[in-house]
Structure 1
């Protein structure tokens, strides 16, 4: 009889040992333990810039780093697919839960929260139930970055400086969901009023006029300062080239293709740096013909010479195609050396 009892006991023991053991993670109703705690993370804030116009998106980058030697995890929330519950176009945001920026002006007044479900006073737990909770796991030293648009969370006033910090709630939905970590640093952000542009008004061509002497002054200032690109556009090359016989003799005999080449050579010569560079000049006269299409501007100029500056008198010829043109084009030049009369 005793042998039968011993045999039965051994049989039951062997059967129990042969059954698979249920791990702690697979016990029905048992939630797998989350990795890490509130001290596992550091929170750092950064921005691409600190000055924004009121029409710009004010983007804050939140960097969460696991500062332990073990895996640590936290939760973020993704928006629901249903547009009746979540619609970005009307301003809904799924970011103001795990990541809660805190904004104050320089007087300590909090910026106005405009997150729709906060402003409407909805139950937070009900709102979170619409969203999808997702676990983020970070290995030792790993980081996670979340970008937040502060303008979607707060009503930001123009011409105002704000201080920005962040409250990080990593365990929302767990029993210790109220635990938080405050950002390591604080940022100062400036919101400026948008630039105001006057509506475009087309120029009144008839109200804009350059007199002939102004064009000549631009031309000679360009030579004196070495910035020919400012004034070369006022020269009618096809006509002006005839003031230089070395070029005009070839130009008049050339075909259209060769004329373009000669014009380029002439411009290169005309704007090249001269040894007798221009020292000073004075406009001494301006005359416009009765037709209003041709004018002459007289200039006395001094140029560098070996002993003392040489003085020249230049007479520029300028033309317009019609009386309504507002720009005079330089079409000719006569130059003579001014001789000083000894007394």
Structure 2
């Protein structure tokens, strides 16, 4: 199955699952309709990387094509929706995927209805609850995917570990931002647990475990998936500063306003002069950072060599992943598909 076809089938599986949930929610109250609308808008976007890696982990271990594995893989998009909704609340992000973030959507609803009380608090509360609902539904969709009980039991341990790791990674990310400083090593630790394992390595493991893969296949998929996941996030960090809002779905420089202590920023800080370091500290985390301020930080990142160093890291991790893939004991079809996904994950346009 091609990657584009996987995406189409994942989209259809998600739509069908949410449609099955709709009557139960609306039976409780018609007031729950905005939750469904907000979720539908969020699920309408996204690259579907986690389901794709899960599917090809399954095929890499000899699993056959079918709707049950597509539904199991699609459940990861509900987990991702939960993570994105909560992440946007914590970061006070205004947009996601080119539209208002969920908490801003509910904040606007509060204002439009002229309800009493704090609109911002209402928006955050509604978003947290919708994120919790998505987390619960991710388990439900996985458990009702149609794979037999033995296969689901093999996958459940991976699924549970994946959820634990991403929440720990999210906490570490928040901690680094609160401390206000991050070394390359501590920033990479956040990358590993918040993104690399969660986006690529564990979805691969999940699909492979569902197919009954042995330790050799699991290890080989880690050799490919973990460095690729790091390269993927490093590319995301670069796009968070230099990316085109039309491509990223977020305003230019949003990561700078949020004060994210990324590997890119850590690489820049360790190379900066005293004056550059002072400017970086002053600009990073300023919610009112304007375009000239973004341009100043961009110039510092380029002038110090931080950007070039980050690009070199991306190439190094990507090369490590490609070498591991060439020798992996997996099906030829999966190797070809995973090679294409590696390119797609790391060469997104600025």
Q: Mark yes or no: TM-score above 0.5.
A: no
- Which range, TM-score by smaller chain? under 0.3
Judging by fraction of residues, say which structure has more helix.
2
Larger Rg: 1
Larger RCO, structure (CA 8 Å, separation 6 or more): 2
Scaled by the length of structure 1, the TM-score of the pair is: 0.19
Scaled by the length of structure 2, the TM-score of the pair is: 0.18
